[in-house]
Chain A
């Protein structure tokens, strides 16, 4: 059964809350963030201010030049959190599967709510109405069979937008859109694609995977999936239960354990890099295998102490793979590594023994991270250390 995912995005959230709390500001350009006299940046701009070209993350002084008569207000984070909690409880009255991305944005998996509340579009309209009634704010809603399409839909007619992209119309919908609308296509990737004459998502679909891979490397597979309106990510409700993962599907099923190990190592490396980049550490490592018959297997191991070290995460993933009998006997289609039980990496339990070795591993991780951050994620790969 196809899923029904809903993406709810509050319109100019901080600025709208201010306009609601100060009715005299309605209809006026409002900019929330640093004062134009300081070196602060814009946190949010009302639609009235956006018309002058003001957008978030812009230096406040620059915004002042673009829109001199705008009202500048300080950020009242606590207030926005209060309103956000109110809105979130509206979402949660329809489904427990709510994944907030920030104070003003969330994904809802309403697949299981349809029997109770009616079709996804009906749920979307009810949410819009309840948000308006209870908070006097507007929310843009996008609905789709997956997270990518839902988010695309919510951003399509902002503000106060409402759009559903159905499974059967997704290909036609994506066809004319610019490739930059695909998740993960930034300036650099867009330039590569434009140079090959690929401007729309429709164009992209017609490029053979091998050609795309030669230009973009491993992201090619992922982009092509998105171009076909496919996105396997799932809505993860609890922020605590969040995990970080990396996985890939082989072009052809793989049976030899060494190739599987190499792939698992690459994913472990990727995951460890992301754990460190987010200044987190993880306690549980999970290995995911999908076999040729599409059956799925996951194995986890929880460590004594949370870690952000590549060698520990990779070593655990490898141990799980080596102990997995089926991995030796059945062809594998997909390999993934993920970590969970994440916590802030603010402190670390040091070891009594082998501290030099540990320090050596950490400085190696730091060096690799630096190169990856500067040159891109595919810039460096480790030899088989394990």
Chain B
């Protein structure tokens, strides 16, 4: 195998594909990146067996076809720092050599046959989205996934599509975030796919700077695939039962309050700084014309802030994990949002922009 290319192209591809590779897999082959000459270009693949990333470098001159499997070995960093115009990548057996006029690197690779089989979908019937739109939906939901391991379905983001309805939902069991849209074109059949968090995070990385490009999406059986120009991301869907989220979304709440996002976020943050690390709770009090933010770290610190608002309903105090609210406020497009609620032991609705809904379960004092 032998090809010649620009070092920056190798750097980009190695960085992207290297992002999938597990830090220290017990299967050495998984710690590698597979390179293969294909259709006049060079294809790089990395995988952790759950998620796989493929990147095609087109701007190369292939002098000898072949395939090789090598550890990333900080090649992304090295190639980015290489000042020569071109590098020659050559493999003899499992040993790779990368040369430029002023440098030479040798890397011991592994038998490419040990590299796991990675399935990609070649359907020709992909759904089309704008990268930026899809990315926004992910950013508005991904933070609500469960962070701790072994929560299975709750560790993923649900993508549900039927006809022209599009829903992206994530929940950790205590809060839920959902984006709903109407698609321009109908999708075929019903799609109910729980996408692992890692795949969504990788998509965010691929999408950065490509917001105007086209995303080709495929879902087939237990696999989902995202394709943006020469980069393909495929992921095994999470098996498990996603909770029946529609059931917990309240139909109608008696109290609705429109709030300015920036001052609310600022007061919330200040109160959160004074909250105790173990309980992490900010109490928001609603009374006529006034919102109060209160927090305390018993015997050590206390905060109380007031914010005038147009509120004229029953007095109520709701306890929140301040992060749950801040996560939402960080991704809003417009300057205002709406809180809807009924009583202390029911989930609070936070709505903003078009089709963006969040549910937060309050923190309640124990009797």
Contact = CB atoms under 8 A, between A and B. Distances in A.
Interface of A: 283, 302-306, 319, 341, 343-353
The list of the 3 closest CB pairs from A to B, nearest first, reads A343-B278, A353-B243, A350-B361
A353 B366 contact: no
A352 B359 contact: yes
Given A304-B146, A352-B248, A347 B174 contact: no
Contacts of B54: none
A352 B174 contact: yes
The DSSP consensus for interface residues of chain A is: strand
Contacts of A305: 174
B129 to A, nearest CB: 28
A343 B172 CA distance: 22
B364 A348 contact: yes
Interface residues of B, number: 29
B79 interface: no
B362 interface: yes
B347 interface: yes
Contacts of B146: 304
A347 B278 contact: no
14 contacts: A283-B278, A302-B148, A341-B278, A347-B279, A348-B365, A349-B174, A349-B361, A349-B363, A350-B362, A350-B364, A352-B173, A352-B175, A353-B243, A353-B248
A353 B173 contact: yes
Contact of A347 (B148, B248, B319): B319
B38 interface: no
Contacts of A303: 148
A242 to B, nearest CB: 13
A304 B280 CA distance: 12
B313 interface: no
A345 B363 CA distance: 12
B321 interface: yes
A304 B147 contact: yes
Given A304-B146, A304-B147, A304-B148, A352 B365 contact: no
B253 to A, nearest CB: 15
A352 B172 CA distance: 9
A106 to B, nearest CB: 21
Given A304-B146, A304-B172, A351-B361, 4 more contacts: A304-B147, A319-B150, A350-B361, A353-B248
B316 to A, nearest CB: 16
Contacts of B366: 345-348
Contacts of B345: 350
Contact of A352 (B148, B276, B347): B347
Given A303-B148, A304-B148, A352 B176 contact: yes
Contacts of A350: 174, 345, 361-364
A305 B243 CA distance: 19
A306 B363 CA distance: 12
